[in-house]
Structures are given as C-alpha cells and as structure tokens.
Structure 1
Amino acid sequence: MTMRMYVPNLLARAGIVSALTLATVAGTTLAPGGTTGADAAAVSAKALRIAASKEGSPYQYGAIGPRRFDCSGLMLYSFRRAGKALPRTATGQYRRTRHVPAGSRRTGDLVFFHAGKGIYHVGIYAGSSQVWHAPKPGTVVRLEKIWSRSVSYGRVG
C-alpha cells in the first residue's frame, strides 16, 4: 500500500476525516467554488462542441451570436453557453486564460494569433493542428488548419 493510500485509510478508520482532508492528503485541494481540472476540461469540451455547432454562421464584426459572430464573440458565446464567462475581446481572453506551451495544448484550449506584441485573432483548438473560428468579413464559422507559427495557447479554468 502506498503512503497516499495508507494515510487516508488510517484517518478514515480514526473517524476524523472530512472530504476536504481527504482531498488535501490525496494531493488535490479545492477552494469553495473552485473547479477541478476535469471540470475545466468538461467546460472546454462543451465549448468546443458549441463552437462547432455554429459552422456556417456568418462573420460580423462585434457580433456575439447566436447567428453571427466575430472571432472573440464566438469564443465568448461558446464558453458562456458551456458555463464559463470570458471577456469580450481576444486580448481580454488572452489575459484571462492560463497560458500553456504548444506541446501541452488540448482540444478546447484557445488559440491566440499574434502580430508583433498584439493579438489579432482567437479560435478554439479542435486537435490535429486545427481551429474552429470566425475568420473575417465575408466568411463563415469554420474549421481550418492553423496557418501561422505566431500562436499561443490559453486554457480557460
């Protein structure tokens, strides 16, 4: 039996364990109202499905849905429907996310496109180097291969 398993079993037999104590000893502490990694992953997966469901919706600058979107509006709409609030702009969304290296990206992470020091576009990572996004005027929400190396990834938590 590992120490991780032994300590909670010992405490449980002693009758002095609360759910918080067990979670802390096991290595995961939740603050009231906090979310686990699994909860955040579930929200991101749902947001990804919602964004994909908007395939074919026309781009409109400043639009946040439900029928028309700009890039950050699609992210705002998708995550709001999945239960998580995001700021309105791509830059605000970048600031609100936990930045992760490309090698650690997961489906449902946000993909931020950079020019110089600024962010000019955002989409949601769909896997296989593809992103769901609302590209630009005259286009529609679509799945597309990531076209730039000037990207970073943010995880909504």
Structure 2
Amino acid sequence: MRAGKRGLITAAVTVVCAVTVLAAPGTAFAAPTPTPSPTTTPSLAAPPDKDLEAVREKLDALYHDAAVATDAYNAAEEKAEKQSADIVALAKKIVEGKERLDRLKDRAGAAARSQYRGGGLPDEARLMLSDNPQQFLDGAGRVIQGQRATKGLIGEMSRTQQDLEQYSKDASAQWKKLEEGRKAKAAAKKEIKKQIAAAEKLESKLEKKEKERLAELEKKAALKAQTAWLGSGILDEIKGDASAQGRKAVEFATAQMGKPYEWGAEGPNTYDCSGLTSQAWASAGSTIPRTSQQQWQQLKHVAVEDMRPGDLIIYFGDASHVAMYVGDGAIVHAPRPGRTVTVAGAGTMPILGVVRPGA
C-alpha cells in the first residue's frame, strides 16, 4: 500500500477512534450550543432542533427507501444478465440441434435409398437364384444390421427433435422472465429516482445555516448510536484477525475512499454500498452476490463478536445496507446519494448481522 494512501486510511481510522474515546461509557459530553448573536431577530431565527430532527428522520427514511429500491434494481439487473446468457446458450443448442437433425435426415435418406435399390424379389427367391448362397447370406446379415442401424437412426432423430422442442420452450420461458425482469428493473429505477428527488427537494428548502445544523444533528445521532454500541463492551470481544483475502478486500475498499456514491454502480469511479463490497471481494479473488440482501441470504453468518476485518456488516431489518468492517470498531462504506465512500463507526446504524465471504 502506498504511504500516502496508508496515511489517509490511518487518519480516517484515527477520527473513528477519537469518536470512540469521546463515546466511551461514563464520559460526559454536551452538544455544542450556538452562541446567540445580538443582531439575530426572532423572524430570522433558525427553526428548533426538533423540526430539523424531523427533517433528518424524513431524509433517512427517503434514502432508506431509495436503498431498498436500489437493491431491487441491482437484483433485477443481475437476473437479466444471467437470463440473457441462458438464452444465448439455448440459441446455440437450437442451432447445433438443427444441424444435427439435418445430418441425421441425410443419413436416413441415404439408408432408405440403399434399401430401395436392394429391394425387388423376396429373400427366398433371391437365395434360390443366387450363384453364391454364402455371399447372399452374408449380404442378408448386413441388411439386418442396416435395418437395426436405421431404427437407431430414427430413434436418434426423434430424440433430437424432442430436444429442439424443449430448447425452444426453455428459450420462450427465459424470454418471458427477461421481460418481467425488465419491468421490475424499470419500476425499481423509477422508485429510486422518486425517493432521491423527494430527498433533494426537501434538502433544497433548507437555508445554509439549517443545512449546517442538520449536519450537526446527523453527526450527533451517529455518535449516540456508536456510543450505545460501544457501551455494550462489544469491542472488547472483537479480536479476530483478518484473513489474507480479507486484508486484500479491506485494502481495495479503503482505497476507494472519497469516490462518490451512485446507485447501481460497481466502480471504478462510483459505487453503491453493495457494489463496493462485491468489488472489494472480487479484487481478493472471491465472487460474492451483488446485492446486500443476497449477501445476507447467501453468505456465511458469523456472530458480531467473532467478526474480523473484511467481514460484511448488514444493516437494517430488511438488509438494505452493507458495509465492510475494517477493525477498531470502524467500517468503510458507500453511504447514500450525495455522499462519498468513507469510514464510520460500525454501530452508527442498526446492525442486522455479519456475514463472511471467502473460503
């Protein structure tokens, strides 16, 4: 890892550790209180914190719904890619099956013509008229073998025809699924844009000072959640060392710090939450599911106290967000639209559970 990059990561983790110290159980701290300005009039006063807190909660809800829709979009896109690949494979089988059927028909036609040329008199008459009975009997044996081969040829033609019919049915079914997936993907995309637009509209109504105070409230809420998480003593129990793959995944994820969040993105310039984690583990040589919900469903579950750097923390009851644990109570993740890949406290959001990619 380059020295500059290591310094950036160290600084980020130091910030998290500083928050950890501030949030240690038994340590009292107070939210900063703005110094009243003598020129401030009641009409220009900022709205009460409770109003901004309501705005913060509403924004969280809107971005959460956008994250759920993003997971649906990513899942539909992944299915569409697989279904398209299946359709291509089936099309190849259909072409190969038709070519095989044509060859079998040619062989069957040649066999029929051969039998026709050898037809005419009954076998008994041909035996009596033959100058060489043994030659006739040998020929008769070959005819019997030919008849058996013809039956086998007809059976093979029948099976090939059945295969072609099944391939066609399968391809038709895959096309139907692909169309359903396209509609699901379009609906998810529409929902994402709707939720993000609503959030941006809500934020656009805020004055500069209100936005600054809102940012303070967001930090305060994150600090409160991290304090509660650390207050359980969980960090004393988390002592696992990263695997070789886990270290590579962490190096990749932390190297993306500062890059913007973009829904549906898997890099290299922008990421959504599961795009970051899936690409980080791909860089470590392990393919994992694309979405946070699939990662929760398909990867190995481990207890929070047993997690180690490189493991993925799944957040919220619907598994709509994922981050990578980097150690010392910190995570790296792509938070939401308008934010960049960053380091945060692992307990700043409700933890659903932990999963472990890799061997």
Would you say same fold, with TM above 0.5?
yes
Aligned to 1:82: 284
Give the secondary-structure state (helix, strand or coil) at the position aligned to 1:91: helix
Matched, 1:59 2:261: yes
Q: CA deviation at 1:96?
A: 2.4
Aligned to 1:141: 341
Matched, 1:152 2:353: yes
Matched, 1:131 2:131: no
- Superposed, 1:28-47 pairs within 5 Å as 41-47=243-249
Q: Output the amino acid matched with 1:119.
A: A
Give the secondary-structure state (helix, strand or coil) at the position aligned to 1:119: coil
Q: CA deviation at 1:43?
A: 1.0
Aligned to 1:70: 272
Q: Output the amino acid matched with 2:329.
A: S
Q: CA deviation at 1:65?
A: 0.3
User: CA separation in 2, counterparts of 1:60 and 1:149?
Assistant: 22
Q: Is the 8 A contact 1:71 1:135 kept in 2?
A: yes
Matched, 1:95 2:297: yes
Q: CA deviation at 1:102?
A: 1.0
Q: Is the 8 A contact 1:66 1:77 kept in 2?
A: no
Q: Output the amino acid matched with 1:155.
A: R
Deviation by residue 1:92-115 (Cα, 9 ceiling, x = unmatched): 111222111111010110010023
Q: Is the 8 A contact 2:261 2:340 kept in 1?
A: yes
Q: CA deviation at 1:133?
A: 0.2
- Aligned-residue sequence identity (percent) comes to 35
* TM superposition score normalised by structure 2: 0.31
Deviation by residue 1:119-147 (Cα, 9 ceiling, x = unmatched): 11001001122110000000000000120
Q: Is the 8 A contact 2:313 2:351 kept in 1?
A: no
Q: Output the amino acid matched with 1:91.
A: Q
User: CA separation in 1, counterparts of 2:273 and 2:259?
Assistant: 12
Q: CA deviation at 1:151?
A: 3.1
Q: Sort the Cα spacing of 1:111 and 1:149 in 2 relative to 1 into closer, same or farther, 3 A.
A: same
Q: Is the 8 A contact 1:96 1:156 kept in 2?
A: no
Deviating 4+ runs (over 3 angstroms): none
Q: Is the 8 A contact 2:326 2:332 kept in 1?
A: yes
- Aligned-residue CA RMSD in angstroms? 1.3
Q: Which has the higher strand share?
A: 1
User: CA separation in 1, counterparts of 2:303 and 2:326?
Assistant: 16
Q: CA deviation at 1:148?
A: 2.7
User: CA separation in 2, counterparts of 1:78 and 1:122?
Assistant: 12
Q: Output the amino acid matched with 1:140.
A: T
Q: CA deviation at 1:150?
A: 2.8
Give the secondary-structure state (helix, strand or coil) at the position aligned to 2:243: helix
* TM superposition score normalised by structure 1: 0.70
User: Structure 1 stretches of 5 or more lacking a match?
Assistant: 1-39
Q: Which has the higher helix share?
A: 2
Matched, 1:120 2:320: yes
Q: Output the amino acid matched with 1:128.
A: D
Q: Output the amino acid matched with 1:110.
A: L
User: CA separation in 2, counterparts of 1:42 and 1:97?
Assistant: 18
Aligned to 1:48: 250
Q: CA deviation at 1:149?
A: 4.0
Deviation by residue 1:29-70 (Cα, 9 ceiling, x = unmatched): xxxxxxxxxxx9211110011000000000000000011000
Higher radius of gyration, 1 or 2: 2
Task: Count matched residues.
Answer: 116
Give the secondary-structure state (helix, strand or coil) at the position aligned to 1:56: coil
User: CA separation in 1, counterparts of 2:269 and 2:345?
Assistant: 23
Aligned to 1:108: 310
Q: Output the amino acid matched with 2:301.
A: H
